[in-house]
Homo-oligomer: A and B are copies of this chain.
Amino acid sequence: MAKEVVSRKENYSLWYNNLVTKADLAENSAVRGCMVIKPYGYAIWEKMQGTLDKMFKDTGHVNAYFPLFIPKSFFSREASHVDGFAKECAVVTHYRLKNDPDGNGVIVDQEAKLDEELVVRPTSETIIWNTYKSWIQSYRDLPILCNQWANVVRWEMRTRLFLRTAEFLWQEGHTAHATQQEAIDEAEKMIHVYADFVQNWMGVPVIIGKKSESERFAGAVDTYAIEALMQDGKALQAGTSHFLGQNFAKAFDVQFANKDGKLDYVWATSWGVSTRLMGALIMAHSDDNGLILPPKLAPIHVVIIPIYKGEEELNLLRSQSKILKKKMEERGIIVKIDDRDNVRSGFKFAEYELKGVPVRLAIGPRDYQNGTVEVARRDTLEKQTVLQEGIADYVSNLLEEIQVNIFKKALKFREENTHKVDTYEEFKKKIEEGGFILAHWDGTSETEVKVKEETKATIRCIPLDMPEEAGVCMVTGKPSKQRVIFARSY
C-alpha cells in the first residue's frame, strides 16, 4: 500500500483524506475550512474548467465577472433565498486595520466601520440580478447567457477537503429569458451538459433528476441535479441547475418590454458545479493504492521510468525514453520521464500509482535490447510487455480503453448497488448497506422528513428519464406515480 494510505474497508473517510493529501491534491490551510489546492490537484481542476468552459461556450454562453461582495440587504429581497444563504457566511464589517497603540501588531480600526455590512458571496443571484436590472429593457436584450468562474464562501461548520469547504471554486451560470419555457429549457440543457461532462470526461455515471421541494435551491421553482454513487454507497450531488421562475426578477424589479410592448418580469436560471467535483472524481474510481484518474482529466497520461544500474545504463535508457516520449507527445499524449537517482524504482511505481497516472512505462536494459517496454495500466494494475515500435498507437488506444473501462466499472458498481424496494421495512434494512434505493413516495415533505429522521436517507432526485410506474408510497401507502431515488449522501 502506497505511502501509508489506509484501505477503504478499514476507514473510508480516512482513505479519502489520505488520497487527497498524500497524492498532493490539496491540504488544509491556516484558515479554518479553507483549503490550499496544490499544483497537482489544480492541474486536474484546470482540465475540468477548460472542458466545461468550452461546453458552455459551445452552448452560447459568455463569461463575465461580478463582485465578490454583496450588500447585506440584498439577501433580504428574495424571501426563501435569505434563509438558505444569508446565514453561515463571512461578513465584512470594517475596511481598515491600524497599528495597535500597545505595539502588538495590527488591530481593527473601529472608526472604519462600513455603513452596511458586506457578505462574501455564497452565490451570486442577488448581485447579478441587481446588475441585470440595468442591462434589460426589451426582449431584444434577451436572452442573457452569462457564466462566471469564481470563488465563493459558505461558513460550513464541518468541512472536508473538496467535498465541503468554507471557500471553494466554482462556476455559476446566470441566465435571463423572455419566456418561461425558454428558461426551463435552459435549466434542462445545462443539467444535461453537466451529465455529459461528468460521465464522459470524469467517467462517473450520474442520474439526472429533479429535487423534491425540500431539497430545492433557496429561491428556485425547480432544481435539477445529477447524482453519483460513491464507493461507500453514499450519493454525491455533482451539479445542479435551477429554474428560478420570476423570483429574482421580482425581487430586483427586472422587467422587460415584450414583443407586444407589454412589461413582464424576466425568467431566470442559475447552474453551477464546483471543486466538489474533485471529491466525486477521487471517490468514484480510486482504490487502496491511490488515485485512479480518467485519462481525459489526468495531468500526466504516461510516466516513463528507466530501470537502470549505473550512469551508463541510465544515459542509454534516458535517451531511449526521450525518443518514446517524443513519439507519444506527437499524438497529444502528456508524458513525464522520471529519472531521479535518489529513489528506488519501486518507490516511483508506488508514487505514480498513488497519483493515479493512467499508464506507466518501465524500460530496462533488456527492454532496450529487445526493443520492448513494460506497460502497466493503473485502472486494472495489469502489466504487459509491448514492442516500442508503434508505442504511440498502443498507448493512445490504451488511454481510450481506460477512459471507457473506468466508466463501465463505476456503472457496474452503481447497478449492483441500486435496488428497488417496496416496503419501508425492507428499505430500512437495505439503506444500511448503502447504494441507491428506488422506492415509491407519496410526494409530501412530511414523509420525506420522517424517512430522513429514521434512516438518515434523503430523496436524491426524482429521475427525469425513468418510466412512470403506478405504486404506493412505502411509508404511507398513498398513491405514487413514479419511483424516486433515496440514499444517504455527502
- Asked if B72 and A167 make an inter-chain contact with CB atoms under 8 angstroms apart, the answer reads no
Chain B, Cβ-Cβ closest to A70 = B31
Is the CB–CB distance between A167 and B68 below 8 Å?
Answer: yes
Given known contacts A87-B96, A90-B69, A92-B92, A140 and B63 CB-to-CB distance under 8 angstroms: no
Q: Is A43 an interface residue (CB 8 A)?
A: yes
Shortest Cβ distance from A130 into B: residue: B30
Chain A positions 113-166 with a Cβ under 8 Å from a chain B Cβ: 117-120, 127, 130-131, 134, 140, 146, 150-151, 153, 155
Interface contact B73-A31, CB-CB below 8 Å: no
Complex CA distance for A46 and B34, rounded to whole angstroms: 26
Interface 1/0 per residue, A44-58 and B, CB below 8 Å: 011000000000000
Shortest distance from the beta carbon of A11 to any chain B beta carbon, whole Å: 23
Oligomeric state, in copies: 2
Q: How many angstroms from the CA of A65 to the CA of B87 in the assembled complex? A: 26
Contacts of A72 in B (CB 8 A): 97, 105-106, 108
Can you identify 8 A-B contacts, CB atoms within 8 angstroms? A30-B74, A34-B68, A72-B105, A72-B106, A75-B97, A87-B98, A120-B120, A151-B151
A62 to B155, CA, bound (A): 29
A102 to B: closest C-beta gap in Å = 12
CB within 8 Å of B: which A76-99 residues: 76, 82, 86-98
Determine the distance from Cα of A93 to Cα of B91 in the docked complex, in whole angstroms.
Answer: 6
Give chain B nearest CB distance to A163 CB in angstroms. Answer: 16
Give A127 to B119 CA distance when docked, in angstroms.
Answer: 22
Say yes or no for A29: interface residue by CB 8 A criterion. yes
A42 at the interface (CB under 8 A from B): yes
B34, B118, B131: the one contacting A69 at CB < 8 Å is B34
CA distance A96 to B65 in the complex (A): 25
- CB–CB B105/A95 < 8 A: no
State whether A69 and B31 are in contact (beta carbons under 8 Å apart), knowing that A39-B63, A64-B38, A89-B97 are contacts in the complex: yes
* Contact call B37/A64, Cβ cutoff below 8 A: yes
Give the distance to chain B from A229, nearest Cβ to Cβ, in Å: 28
A 168-185 binary contact with B (CB < 8 Å = 1; else 0): 010000000000000000
Contact of A119 among B30, B43, B97, B98 (CB under 8 A): B97
User: Which residues of chain B are within 8 angstroms of A324 by Cβ–Cβ distance?
Assistant: none
Interface band, chain A: 35 or more
* A470-490 vs B, Cβ < 8 Å mask (1 yes, 0 no): 000000000000000000000
Most buried by B among A72, A91, A131, A169: A91
Q: Cβ of A95: which chain B residues have Cβ within 8 Å of it?
A: 88-91, 155
Chain B nearest Cβ from A100, distance in angstroms: 9
A394 interface residue (CB < 8 Å to B): no
CB distance A105 to B39 under 8 Å?
no
Most buried by B among A35, A66, A134: A66
Complex contact A42–B63 (CB within 8 A): yes
B155:A96 contact, CB within 8 angstroms = yes
Q: How far is the CB of A20 from chain B (nearest CB, A)?
A: 14
Counting CB contacts under 8 A, is A342 at the interface? Answer: yes
Q: A68-B153, A73-B105 are in contact. List 5 more A-B contacts (CB 8 A).
A: A27-B131, A89-B97, A91-B95, A92-B120, A96-B155
| A71, CB-defined interface residue at 8 Å | yes
Q: Chain B: which residue is nearest A67 at the CB level?
A: B34
Residues in chain B near residue A153, CB distance under 8 A: 68
A127-B67 in contact given A42-B62, A87-B96, A92-B120 (Cβ < 8 Å): no
Any chain B CB within 8 A of the CB of A36? yes
